[in-house]
Structure 1
Amino acid sequence: MAAVTVTHSAGAPGRGRPVPAAGGGDRSAETWKRHIVRQLKHRDLNQHHLFQDLIRFYSQLLEKSSLAKGMLSCSARRPSCDSISSLLHQNNLLRTTTGELAYQVVELQQQIKIKECFLEEQHARLLQVERRWAGASDERRELQERVERVQEENGALKMEYDGLLELQRAAETRLREEKVRGGHLLEDMIHLKQQAAARMNSRNERRSRAREANLQKELQSAARSKVTVDSSSAPTSRSTSPKNGNDTESTERGHARLFRSASATSPRILTSIRGLFHRKRRGHSVSSLEEDLMCPTGICLSARVPRRALQVLEAHEQGINAVRFSCSSDLLATGGTDRVIKLWEVRAGSLTHRGTLDGSTEGVTCVEFDPTGSRVLAASYDKSALLWRLEESVPKLTLTGHSRKVTAARFSGLHQVVTGSADRTIRLWDLHRAACVQVAEVASYCSDLVCSENCVISGHYDCKIRVWDTRSVSCFQELPAQGKVTSLDISSDQRQLLSCCRDDCLQLVDLRRRSSERVCFRAEGFKCGSDSTKAIISPDGCFLAAGSADGAVYIWNVSTGNLETCLPDKHSSSISAVSWSLSGQYVVSVDKSRLAVLWSDI
């Protein structure tokens, strides 16, 4: 039998009986007794359930043992017939009972084995669960350690982030202050420029008034003065007869009329006054009177196909993007990513540096001479186009208004400029006012453009060439291209349009025809090196020239459509632009590695 455990309250002086607390002894004793009784009843129920089968088997065993003892005592005496029969009956009953007990014992043993197997399985599962629990505990411990490390790292990152945030806020504060300061400086600079312009205008007005006053004085003095003819210097007649006297007098009167006093209606005076007022009207123009006089443009009767390189030089400190001959063919302009334009004189088959034009804050993308050859126009990555005079190294005019880099800038006349930009706009500028007068929205990136009579032709990255009417700012024709357009060029007679595309093909379009018939020019080895590769038409319109990514210059014959020649081995990188002199004698090619090569057939 299991022992009953009785729990004494702490600090009890005796054993087996609790000491009643002060003021409630009887109630505490009754509670303690009920607690003991409940524990005994609970133990009795548990033990009775566990030993019920054992008690039953034990009772049956006692009955069988008492029966066996009775049978043995009867067999010791002389048996009678009744006793023998009863003994046999008892023996049969004993056998039956013993067999049943043996069968029950076997069943119980089997059940015990089954229980033992189940118990072993439970123990195995328990061990497995304990191992899994131990592994989970280790993983949990590792995860807790990782969480702690991550929390520490997060704390450090949070502190670093807070520090960076403070630095960023301080930088933003300084940036705002610098922007405000820059705005103030810009306002001050604009104010100073306005004051300088006002002073210059006032000085010009004073000079104009002084010239007018001097001219007025000269006119008044000329009007007051009289010219007389000395009679001794008058021619005499060979005849001495009296009838010729009247002739002599009439001749003298005729000479006197020829030398009459100057008046305000004199043609010379009118010319002087007209020139004076013309200069006064042009006081705020960006063009001089000499620039308005169109110089005669030479016509190339036959262009020479270059055969060899006359000169190879490093023209810039960085890659060269554009090159252009002037109308006189004795001056060359190159522009590159080093933000300057360099002018070169072409003399006796060599290039001589003449000057440098500064003012662009970023790389130059396009260079153009005006029809007189006295001004240079350039497009720049700094979202502007700049205009220089050849005798000045700083730009005379800066055209700003595009929101992205300007990729092309062309003269549409002496006093008009057209620009194309990556912001998908084409703008027409008036140089008299230095302002944009027309804006055309385009659906694609504008890579290059050329100007013709009353129209502008632009090439775009969406494989289209658009023709614009400058009078109505509308696109009235679209020509398809086989690839992304990198450059455009128009012949000197404005009849043929050349386009270079990224599909390594040159296309020649006859602008006189409304149909979109195109002639394609390809060559083995020719590859368009970039999105801004420039191709040109020779001055006589008989040849096409373009630079390849392998550093060779390819020249095609327009009439045959075949490759005329290939000029290799002088450039070590992709050729970006080619220019053909208007005289037809020279070709210049430039590349991304700062080299410029002068070619000729000499």
Structure 2
Amino acid sequence: MEPGGASQRSGRSAETCWRGHIVRQLKHRDRSQNAMFQDLIRFYTQLLEKTSLTKGRLSRCPSTYGGASLSSLLQQNSELKKTTGELAYQVVELQQQIGSKECVLQEQRARLQEEESRLTDAFDERQALQGRVEQVKVENRRQKTEYDALLERQSRVESRLREEKVQEEHKLEDMMYLKKQAAAHMNICNKRRSRARQATLQKELQTAAKSKVTVDSSSSAPSSRSTSPKADPQDESSRRAPACLFRSVSATSQRNRASFFPSLHLFERKRRSYSVSLEEDQLFPVGVCLSARVPARALQVLEAHEEGINAVRFSFGSDLLATGGTDRVIKVWEVRAGSLTHRTTLDGSTEGITCVEFDPTGRRILASSYDRSALLWQLDASVPKVTLTGHSRKVTAARFTCIPHQVVTGSQDRTVRLWDLHRAACVQQVEAGSYCTDLVCSESSIISGHYDSKIRVWDQRAVSCVQELPAQGRVTSLDLSSDRRQLLSCCRDDCLQLMDLRRWSNERVCFRAEGFKCGSDSTKAVISPDCSYLAAGSADGAVYIWNISTGSLETRLPDKHRASISAVSWSLTGEYVISVDKSRRAVLWSDI
């Protein structure tokens, strides 16, 4: 049965009850008032009857009465008239009272009608509210059903999440175990190859020592080298090095520039380790830039990777270039006559590459990865030689320190770690307090940029923070000048800041330009090798170059990138600038 019908029936029954009550009140009032006037009416009727009888008697037999009787009758008649008048007056008063009572009754009836209308409106409103209550109850039941379903779904999802976490931990443990086994196997193989090469070299040295060499004092150096093909390569390099390393620079300038490059090894030395073979068995000259060229045009535009490119770096000899992208590989390119030629591809990372760097010899490449590790490759090997694992989140920066066979890494897990490549193990770990975005290394310090808009300086010997420098925004990259005296920072406030490391007074020069915008939290900016210019890529796909001495924008290189530029690198010879973007494009720039 419908709720509305029940409400109507209840309203009708209430209305019938009110009407019956009013009728009963009226009947009661009629009975009570009629009883009040009943005696008066009966007495009045009796008087009228007596009066009529007396008049009849007098008219029928007037002689039978005496004078006294007539006078008494007249007196009685007058008294009756007087009584009748009083009774009539009382009747009039009672009629007036009845009229006033009827007015009151009419007012009460009007008020009763008003109350009945208000009661009807109240009943209608009550029915509407009851309908709304029913709707709310239905909606509450529906929402309760959905809530119960969501709770059940949440419990299932949480259980699945716990299972996935357990599986992830198991897989991570399995992966770490497999990596350890692979690293141990690789170390054994490298040790065997090293011993074989050492034995071969010893045999060659013994053969060379047994051979007879005739030295003519009048002969030139080339002829003596031709007569002894097994001469010591270090002697040969000592004769050739000054000419190829420093061109026509004076000895004094050579000594000064050598002090500016304390971390650059002019020649590789042969070293052996216990578990990791890190070989340095060839001479590698380092070029010196006296004056960097401001690029003016694009020499080559190529699609370097299958996905976006995150990092790029020239080697110290400027003849090689490495790019790393989200496609999980590092590609090595040869730079010849203003063009890039693909040389090799380095695999081994399970996720995207965030940072790449050559060692000073140009024979090894260090990279950081989203897979929470840092990897080290030999240039001629496609698989990593060393894998450094231990960070709990992605590694954003990995750099060679000035100490041989030691690297430093920074990660999103808010730690900075120092690694020994001999043992492939972490030797120091510090809590940085914020997500580390980039690192650079000087002679005795490690400088890190962070997401909390601070630059922290660490003592490399104790790995402790010695100073915090505030930045104007989240730091996206750091770069040291070639003389290790100036530090460049790029921040998300679209500003490049250059500070002198010899003055820790927070005095810095800001470089801005109209249209320049830092495109991401990992945008990399660089200082030119002659410390005269700054270069950075913008979100609009253009390369901006500032003049340090004037503080103004030197040039803007547009129209070659179709996405935000993620990194730039300047060759140490000062001849080339390379820029890469998120749309897998690399552009080689020069003034040629």
2:68 corresponds to 1:89: no
| Inter-partner Cα distance in structure 2 for 1:512 and 1:482 | 21
> 4+ residue stretches of structure 1 with deviation over 4 A?
46-50, 152-169, 171-181, 183-188, 190-208, 278-281
| Inter-partner Cα distance in structure 1 for 2:191 and 2:332 | 35
Distance 1:424 1:133, change over 3 A: same
One-letter amino acid of the structure 1 residue matched with residue 470 of structure 2? P
TM-score, structure 1 as length reference: 0.73
| Inter-partner Cα distance in structure 2 for 1:131 and 1:350 | 92
Deviation at 1:572, TM superposition (A): 2.2
Q: Match of 2:433, SS? A: coil
* Structure 2 partner of 1:264: none
Indicate which of 303, 306, 321 corresponds to 1:332. 321
2:34 corresponds to 1:54: yes
One-letter amino acid of the structure 2 residue matched with residue 58 of structure 1? Q
- In the alignment, is the contact (CA less than 8 A) between 1:420 and 1:446 conserved in 2? yes
| Inter-partner Cα distance in structure 2 for 1:587 and 1:113 | 110
Deviations 1:496-526 (A, max 9, x none): 1111122222111111224322122222222
Greater shift, 461-470 or 431-440, is seen at 461-470
Deviation at 1:460, TM superposition (A): 2.0
| Inter-partner Cα distance in structure 2 for 1:356 and 1:110 | 116
- In the alignment, is the contact (CA less than 8 A) between 1:294 and 1:371 conserved in 2? no
Deviation at 1:419, TM superposition (A): 1.2
Greater shift, 433-442 or 303-312, is seen at 433-442
* Structure 2 partner of 1:460: 450
* Structure 2 partner of 1:105: 95
Indicate which of 373, 378, 399 corresponds to 2:388. 399
* Structure 1 partner of 2:279: 288
Deviations 1:175-195 (A, max 9, x none): 488468647855874785588
* Structure 1 partner of 2:584: 594
One-letter amino acid of the structure 2 residue matched with residue 73 of structure 1? L
Distance 1:577 1:168, change over 3 A: closer
Indicate which of 360, 363, 369 corresponds to 1:374. 363
* Structure 1 partner of 2:505: 515
Alignment of 1:57-136 (within 5 A): 57-78=37-58, 80-136=70-126
* Structure 2 partner of 1:540: 530
| Inter-partner Cα distance in structure 2 for 1:173 and 1:530 | 33
Greater shift, 317-326 or 68-77, is seen at 68-77
* Structure 2 partner of 1:11: none
| Inter-partner Cα distance in structure 1 for 2:537 and 2:169 | 48
| Inter-partner Cα distance in structure 1 for 2:183 and 2:473 | 48
| Inter-partner Cα distance in structure 2 for 1:325 and 1:202 | 30
One-letter amino acid of the structure 2 residue matched with residue 370 of structure 1? D
* Structure 2 partner of 1:311: 300
One-letter amino acid of the structure 2 residue matched with residue 64 of structure 1? Y
2:431 corresponds to 1:441: yes
Distance 1:176 1:470, change over 3 A: closer
- In the alignment, is the contact (CA less than 8 A) between 2:276 and 2:386 conserved in 1? no
Alignment of 1:471-550 (within 5 A): 471-550=461-540
| Inter-partner Cα distance in structure 2 for 1:176 and 1:479 | 39
Distance 1:192 1:350, change over 3 A: closer
Q: Match of 1:515, SS? A: coil
- In the alignment, is the contact (CA less than 8 A) between 1:543 and 1:556 conserved in 2? yes
| Inter-partner Cα distance in structure 2 for 1:155 and 1:521 | 60
| Inter-partner Cα distance in structure 2 for 1:198 and 1:349 | 39
* Structure 1 partner of 2:335: 346
Indicate which of 406, 416, 433 corresponds to 2:406. 416
Q: Match of 1:436, SS? A: strand
Distance 1:198 1:463, change over 3 A: closer
| Inter-partner Cα distance in structure 2 for 1:194 and 1:537 | 37
Indicate which of 364, 375, 380 corresponds to 1:386. 375
Alignment of 1:7-46 (within 5 A): none
| Inter-partner Cα distance in structure 2 for 1:314 and 1:160 | 48
Distance 1:383 1:97, change over 3 A: farther
Q: Match of 1:300, SS? A: coil
Distance 1:201 1:385, change over 3 A: closer
Distance 1:95 1:335, change over 3 A: farther
Deviation at 1:99, TM superposition (A): 2.4
Distance 1:352 1:201, change over 3 A: closer
| Inter-partner Cα distance in structure 2 for 1:164 and 1:464 | 40
- In the alignment, is the contact (CA less than 8 A) between 2:272 and 2:278 conserved in 1? no
Alignment of 1:191-206 (within 5 A): 193=182, 196=185
* Structure 1 partner of 2:290: 301
| Inter-partner Cα distance in structure 2 for 1:205 and 1:388 | 16
* Structure 1 partner of 2:224: none
- In the alignment, is the contact (CA less than 8 A) between 1:345 and 1:353 conserved in 2? yes
Distance 1:423 1:201, change over 3 A: closer
| Inter-partner Cα distance in structure 2 for 1:318 and 1:191 | 30
* Structure 1 partner of 2:344: 355
Indicate which of 555, 558, 569 corresponds to 1:565. 555
* Structure 2 partner of 1:234: none
Q: Match of 1:73, SS? A: helix
Greater shift, 128-137 or 190-199, is seen at 190-199
- In the alignment, is the contact (CA less than 8 A) between 2:187 and 2:275 conserved in 1? no
Deviation at 1:306, TM superposition (A): 0.6
Indicate which of 407, 410, 415 corresponds to 1:425. 415
| Inter-partner Cα distance in structure 2 for 1:198 and 1:493 | 36
Greater shift, 375-384 or 325-334, is seen at 375-384
Deviation at 1:426, TM superposition (A): 1.3
Structure 1 runs not aligned, ≥5 long: 1-45, 226-267, 269-277
Q: Match of 1:433, SS? A: coil
Indicate which of 312, 320, 324 corresponds to 1:323. 312
Deviations 1:218-257 (A, max 9, x none): 9xxx9xx9xxxxxxxxxxxxxxxxxxxxxxxxxxxxxxxx
| Inter-partner Cα distance in structure 1 for 2:271 and 2:575 | 43
- In the alignment, is the contact (CA less than 8 A) between 1:450 and 1:457 conserved in 2? yes
Deviation at 1:86, TM superposition (A): 3.3
Percent of pairs with identical residues: 53
Deviations 1:323-372 (A, max 9, x none): 11111111111122222222121112111222222222222221111111
One-letter amino acid of the structure 1 residue matched with residue 273 of structure 2? R
| Inter-partner Cα distance in structure 2 for 1:576 and 1:120 | 88
One-letter amino acid of the structure 1 residue matched with residue 321 of structure 2? L
| Inter-partner Cα distance in structure 1 for 2:374 and 2:501 | 28
| Inter-partner Cα distance in structure 1 for 2:473 and 2:356 | 24
Distance 1:546 1:156, change over 3 A: closer
| Inter-partner Cα distance in structure 2 for 1:160 and 1:152 | 12
Distance 1:382 1:102, change over 3 A: farther
Structure 2 runs not aligned, ≥5 long: 1-25, 59-68, 211-231, 233-268
Distance 1:50 1:288, change over 3 A: farther
Deviations 1:475-494 (A, max 9, x none): 22233322222211111110
Greater shift, 505-514 or 298-307, is seen at 505-514
Q: CA RMSD in A?
A: 3.7
- In the alignment, is the contact (CA less than 8 A) between 2:332 and 2:343 conserved in 1? yes
* Structure 1 partner of 2:256: none
| Inter-partner Cα distance in structure 2 for 1:352 and 1:202 | 32
